[in-house]
A and B are shown apart, each in its own frame.
Chain A
């Protein structure tokens, strides 16, 4: 499953990144590394970004990037 499709309020685990190194690096810098648990907090309206929680911090991620993050059940 992609992070973009993860339902709101459910905790999932990051499995891997699809796509280039640049995106993966930035995500890792913000603590969204493979193995970490994330929870989708909210979706912005009008096809806007999503907001996730990882280790108690909130991070906004554009849809394009969220579509490149593979997640799975805990």
Chain B
């Protein structure tokens, strides 16, 4: 048996799912789309059932990919019973989608979530009355506190088994008549929807469904037009709004029947936005919160990374002494293997885990939409929207979580540009190169200069990219959820699922790549690699030997500094590089090709094509920026 969880954004659906889902829950995509769902096995009354957490949507009107996939999935016979999660503090709004779900005629249970929130707002809901109106079970609950979850799933289980249907909603007479006429005209048009639901969707103007039905029965287009015109004429308003209006009216009507409004408790939370979204205090808090977040992750990461890297260095020495053939083939491969493993550990444990937990906290508290509100105006200046600031900031720690966080952006264009820009943000590993080379030998002012130059290049690239890929979205429309105390379980589960993705997909590649490079090094292809990159190193005025460290740097950016010392034969860079070369090299390393783990993250989030485009783009930017830096450095030295 499979139970589908469905509800509008911010109704607490994911909290409910996380309360029951185990660590083995799988995240998947609907085939051919970026629309994701999460699935987990749960034990109900001694039986194992699948629970699917479907993406949150406001309606099922087919106005975006998530809505189209959800409606297809719900009517595909894959789901035995639907749990419609409603926010009790916001009932009328949620009921509009409940009515839409009832049209589909699938067994259903209502989870009336956030009863505590409704209490706080003085909203009393007559649950029995609601059950009677719809003819289905309504279970009051508080998912964040684990209350009502067991009765909910027990009920869902039995209704799924009985295949019991609820009363379907009835609209105004004129609409019902139009639906009846249309249903008769449908004849043998095949659809995953029942006849009535199909007629509703056609009348409502769901483009994909209209295209499918009229391709089966071309005559239908005319019939539909006649019926629509008739209804529009009667009502004196556009057909687009008639069906939605019917649902909204019905929802408002039902809500007013079952709700008794009492006294509202105004608390600190209701006043929080007055501070956090204050015209200037809001920005002070924004900077402070992001700075603290960044610092916490960075410091925590450093604390974990140092002993871990020491440990791996010891293992490496120990393995080398154990094999005992010095620079022999096996030792080289083993060292490559250890470096691949440690590279993954060094990225994942210290930085990715705290980052994802922190991001999950900001997300579940409800702060991220506020960041979008505050930053929208500023980000518009470089052709982006407010939310794009998030991946951008995360990039300073590590580009991998930055790429992963582009998920919070709805628009594909926005995601691509934000991902491309966040790979240009110097992460902690590149910080090591800039500090180790420029700050150490030439002073902190020049290192800071490189950072400012980097920000300038990012803004410039944003301007150019947003011109090349024009913005088609009409602008920001975003619900600001009520601030909530996040549940530990939800935050940890979400972080774990994302870390697991990295472990499964990027880490093996890091290990294989590391071993391959070790082999290449052993059979002495360094000469060829250096030769291959000679045109580049020549233009930038860099030594012949930088080819190998730059290629290793793709695995892990800090290797481009460590290996540079090995390649040039001295770790005292002032004896082997001129100041101009140091600056040029550091600038090139800051911009060129994102590291392998980042590339895998891009491929996962945005697809292979986007990955190649970003690799090509960053290489081009790195070469140009390197040239500019070289020219500038020639002048000052």
Contact = CB atoms under 8 A, between A and B. Distances in A.
A25 B378 contact: no
Given A60-B478, A65-B476, A28 B241 contact: yes
B46 interface: no
A22 B479 contact: no
B131 interface: no
B377 A44 contact: yes
Interface in A18-37: 20-31, 33-34
Nearest to A61: B477
A55 B90 contact: yes
Contacts of B411: none
B59 A29 contact: yes
Given A58-B479, A62-B476, A29 B121 contact: no
Contact of B477 (A41, A45, A55, A62): A62
A51 interface: yes
Interface in B239-296: 240-241, 244-245, 248, 273, 277, 279-280
A62 to B, nearest CB: 3
Contacts of A60: 369, 372-373, 376, 476-480
Most chain A beta carbons < 10 A, residue from B244, B280, B478: B478
A58 B245 contact: no
B92 interface: yes
B307 interface: no
Given A56-B121, A59-B477, A25 B61 contact: yes
Interface string A32-74: 0110000001101111110100011111111111000000000
Contact of B245 (A33, A41, A42, A62): A33
Contacts of A58: 273, 479-480
Contacts of B280: 45
Contacts of B476: 49, 60-62, 65
A54 to B, nearest CB: 9
A49 B479 CA distance: 12
B477 A48 contact: no
B63 interface: yes
A29 to B, nearest CB: 4
A26 B58 CA distance: 9
Contacts of A31: 93
Contact of B376 (A27, A29, A41, A44): A44
B63 A25 contact: yes
A interface, over-half SS:
mixed
A46 B478 CA distance: 18
A52 to B, nearest CB: 10
Query: Most B CB atoms within 10 A — which of A21, A29, A33, A55?
Result: A29
B483 to A, nearest CB: 11
A49 B61 contact: no
B474 interface: yes
Interface residues of A, number: 34
A25 B241 CA distance: 8
Contact of B90 (A25, A41, A56): A56
B374 interface: yes
Contacts of A49: 373, 376-377, 386, 475-476
Interface in B362-391: 369, 372-374, 376-378, 386
Contacts of B240: 21, 24-25
Interface string B472-510: 001111111000000000000000000000000000000
Contacts of A59: 477-480
A42 B277 contact: yes
Nearest to A45: B279
A57 B93 contact: yes
Nearest to A66: B475
Interface string B84-97: 00000110110000
Contacts of B369: 60
Nearest to A48: B377
A72 B377 CA distance: 27
A45 to B, nearest CB: 5
A44 B373 contact: yes
Nearest to B59: A29
A62 B373 contact: no
A46 B480 contact: no
A27 B244 contact: no
Interface in B33-66: 58-59, 61, 63
Contacts of A46: 377-378
Nearest to B279: A45
Contact of A23 (B245, B376, B474): B474
- Sort A-B residue pairs by CB-CB distance and give the 6 closest, nearest first: A62-B475, A48-B377, A29-B58, A62-B476, A46-B377, A58-B480
Interface of A: 20-31, 33-34, 41-42, 44-49, 51, 55-65
Given A26-B477, A44-B373, 6 more contacts: A23-B474, A25-B244, A30-B58, A33-B248, A42-B273, A44-B376
Interface of B: 58-59, 61, 63, 89-90, 92-93, 121, 240-241, 244-245, 248, 273, 277, 279-280, 369, 372-374, 376-378, 386, 474-480
16 contacts: A25-B244, A26-B63, A28-B244, A29-B58, A34-B241, A46-B378, A48-B374, A49-B377, A55-B92, A55-B93, A56-B121, A57-B93, A59-B478, A60-B372, A60-B479, A65-B475
